[in-house]
Amino acid sequence: MISQVGTELNKALHRILDHHVFVKIEIDTFLENFELKRNDKEVEKLFQVTETVGALKYDLSDRCVALGNKNLSEISTEVNSLLSNVNALLEKVQIEHQPSSELQTARRLRAERKAEFLKNLQHDFQRIENSFEEKEEEIAELYSDLERKLNIAK
């Protein structure tokens, strides 16, 4: 009987001190209220943005069309006159110019010197390449002789 009273008291204390259910309900209610308020604010902001964009769309498009019609014809005539002036200037400047015989001779001599230089450069490069290959062969022979003399197995 005393053990039964102890268990009942324990259950009662547990029910009195167990706030999980209450806390869970409070959290759910808070979240629900928060989400409703947030969604309301977001919907309001979306409507405000839509109204602003609509107003700008109609106002700005009308103003742009009016200003474009007014100024584009003026700009077009100015650009066309500028283009014709540039074309006239280019025609004056594009007089064919034949280089003098001295200039042609100097160009030919420079081309010959360049060809000779490149030929010499290629020849020197080939000599260096051949010398390098010979040195490689000599070094390989020296190492093989050294290995043979020292009886080093590969």
Q: Which of 91, 90, 110, 94 is nearest to 102 (CA)?
A: 110
State how far the Cα of 83 lies from the Cα of 80, in Å rounded to an integer.
5
Instruction: Report phi then psi at 11, rounded to 5.
Output: -65, -40
pTM of the model: 0.34
**What are the tens digits of pLDDT across the range 77-110?**
888 998 899 888 888 877 667 778 898 999 999 9
Domain residues of the chain, as ranges?
1-89, 120-154
Query: Which whole-number Å values give the CA distances from 100 to 104, 113, 114, 117, in the listed order?
Result: 6, 20, 21, 26
